């Protein structure tokens, strides 16, 4: 065996296995691999066995007795001695063709689903590893055995056959029928993706894969991803998972987002979820569901920050540091009296540029634009644009603060208006 030999899976699959005299033993059908932790990030496949068809039999040899050599680009595979892979090792392994080839995986760098057309392996004196997956056209042509012919034609026509690799470290397997190739939860890198990227990946999966991947997320992560999913995908996941699990996830989401989802569901199923949620979370959602569509109350979030006029800046900063509110809650903060009547607003900038001992009554701004909870919101886009607001306070008839509408929830309307007016 040469010190380092690189080869493609599609080149070895279907090739002849020979003995030391050059006599053909059989045809190579597959390789068996086991994920072994190489570093803190990677469970890289290590080839343990080779599946060979010899006449009517199928034999699995230990890969440690296989010799690989390359001459003028031609790969020769030799059985140095007859040694079979033991049963315990076979149970721990998976077949590369069955488990990975032609399957969907996640390209972590590209944050998208891709299909595996071939595998690149490297054989070292210590072991043989899968180091990359091929997702380009060349891998497909290699698989059907016409890559050399295709390259000859492409050379004559002066174009290049696309070839693209993803290092195994940047791959996440999404084959939930084969648990052996699922990376350990402790080392899974899917959590490094932005929720919207992960949502795009989930939407590209079939119903089974979509549900399985979503189920593998912790509740906080699942809540962030659920917010980013298209309505149809949201409903598919909610209907596919146990009510108690979905209730736990919904409790981690803003009440207005939950209300939007439940409002589009069958009322019986929505009621089951509400009953399963914690009473406080359920009550907030029920209150929002009670508003008519296209009213301020139906769009507002009840997660907001309110303080008293006598509170000083230092105490507000301490509260923010301690409670770590969501970023939307910091778009605009409110000053109310003891009966929650809205008196003014202030921003994070106001807190940072003023002395810490100043009371909010000295830095707050008058409310330029607000809505009542039962009021229609047809003019909200114009108001947000006119006053350059990130959030609009919503009050009841008596002026008590009920919630706020954030720009994120009306951004589509704003963009639509700008496009129309061009």
Residue 201 maps to which CATH number? 1.25.60.10
What pLDDT does 187 receive?
38
Count: domains in the chain: 3
For 76-84, which contacts have Cβ atoms below 8 Å and span 24 or more sequence positions? 76/18, 77/12, 77/15, 77/16, 77/17, 77/18, 77/28, 77/50, 78/17, 78/18, 78/19, 78/20, 79/17, 79/18, 79/19, 79/20, 79/25, 80/20, 84/59, 84/60
pTM of the entire predicted model: 0.58
67, part of any domain: yes
User: Are 345 and 417 part of one and the same domain?
Assistant: yes
What pLDDT does 153 receive?
55
User: Are 169 and 284 part of one and the same domain?
Assistant: no
User: Is 184's pLDDT higher than 60?
Assistant: no
**Between 366 and 104, residue with greater pLDDT:** 366
User: Are 286 and 398 part of one and the same domain?
Assistant: no
User: Are 10 and 116 part of one and the same domain?
Assistant: yes
Report the chain's mean pLDDT, rounded to a whole number.
82
DSSP 347-394: -HHHHHHS-TT-BGGGT-B-----EETTSB-TTHHHHHHHHT-SEEEE
What pLDDT does 2 receive?
45
Residue 401 maps to which CATH number? 3.10.580.10
What pLDDT does 217 receive?
84
User: Is 271's pLDDT higher than 50?
Assistant: yes
Of all residues in the chain, the percent with pLDDT exceeding 70 is 79
What pLDDT does 167 receive?
76
* pLDDT (average), residues 288-301: 88
Q: Is the dihedral of CA 409, 412, 414, 415 positive or negative?
A: positive
Residue 276 belongs to domain spanning: 194-290
User: Are 227 and 327 part of one and the same domain?
Assistant: no
User: Are 157 and 205 part of one and the same domain?
Assistant: no
343, part of any domain: yes
* pLDDT (average), residues 246-260: 91
User: Are 19 and 122 part of one and the same domain?
Assistant: yes
What pLDDT does 417 receive?
47
297, part of any domain: no
100's tokens: 């990975």
pLDDT tens string 232-249 = 999 999 988 999 999 999
* pLDDT (average), residues 104-133: 77
pLDDT tens string 2-24 = 456 888 888 888 899 999 898 99
User: Is 40's pLDDT higher than 80?
Assistant: no
Residue 110 maps to which CATH number? 2.30.30.240
What pLDDT does 357 receive?
96
Most confident of 40-49, 135-144, 342-351: 342-351
What pLDDT does 215 receive?
84
């Amino acid at each position: 065996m040469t010190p380092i030999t690189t080869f493609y899976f599609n080149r070895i699959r279907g090739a002849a296995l020979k003995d030391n005299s050059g006599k053909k033993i059989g045809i190579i059908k597959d390789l068996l691999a086991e994920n072994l932790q190489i570093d803190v990030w990677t469970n890289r496949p290590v080839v343990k066995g080779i599946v060979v068809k010899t006449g009517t039999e199928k034999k699995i040899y230990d890969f440690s007795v296989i010799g690989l050599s390359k001459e003028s680009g031609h790969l020769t595979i030799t059985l140095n001695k007859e040694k079979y892979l033991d049963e315990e090792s076979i149970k721990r392994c998976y077949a590369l063709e069955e488990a990975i080839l032609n399957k969907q995986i996640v390209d972590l760098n590209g944050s998208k689903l891709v299909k595996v057309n071939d595998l690149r392996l490297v054989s070292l004196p210590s072991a043989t590893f899968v180091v990359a997956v091929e997702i380009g056209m060349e891998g497909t042509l290699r698989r059907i055995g016409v890559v050399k012919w295709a390259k000859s034609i492409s050379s004559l026509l002066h174009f290049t056959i696309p070839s693209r690799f993803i290092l195994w470290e940047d791959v996440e397997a999404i084959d939930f029928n084969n648990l052996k190739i699922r990376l350990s939860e402790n080392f899974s890198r899917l959590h490094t993706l932005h929720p919207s990227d992960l949502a795009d990946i989930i939407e590209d999966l079939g119903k089974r894969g979509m549900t399985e991947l979503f189920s593998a997320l912790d509740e906080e992560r699942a809540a962030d991803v659920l917010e980013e999913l298209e309505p149809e995908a949201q409903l598919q996941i909610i209907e596919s998972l146990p009510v108690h699990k979905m209730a736990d996830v919904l409790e981690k989401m803003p009440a207005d987002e939950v209300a939007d989802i439940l409002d589009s569901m069958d009322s019986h199923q929505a009621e089951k979820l509400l009953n399963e949620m914690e009473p406080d979370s359920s009550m907030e959602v029920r209150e929002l569901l009670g508003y008519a569509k296209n009213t301020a109350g139906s769009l507002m979030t009840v997660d907001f920050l309110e303080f008293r006029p006598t509170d000083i800046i230092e105490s507000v900063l301490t509260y923010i540091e301690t409670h770590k509110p969501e970023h939307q809650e910091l778009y605009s903060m409110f000053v109310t009296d003891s009966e929650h009547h809205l008196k003014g607003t202030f921003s994070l900038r106001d807190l940072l540029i003023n002395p810490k001992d100043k009371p909010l009554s000295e830095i707050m701004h008058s409310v330029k634009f607000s809505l009542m909870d039962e009021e229609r919101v047809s003019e909200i886009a114009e108001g947000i644009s006119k006053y350059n607001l990130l959030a609009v306070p919503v009050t009841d008839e008596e002026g008590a603060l009920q919630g706020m509408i954030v720009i994120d929830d009306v951004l589509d309307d704003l963009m639509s208006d700008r496009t129309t007016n061009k």
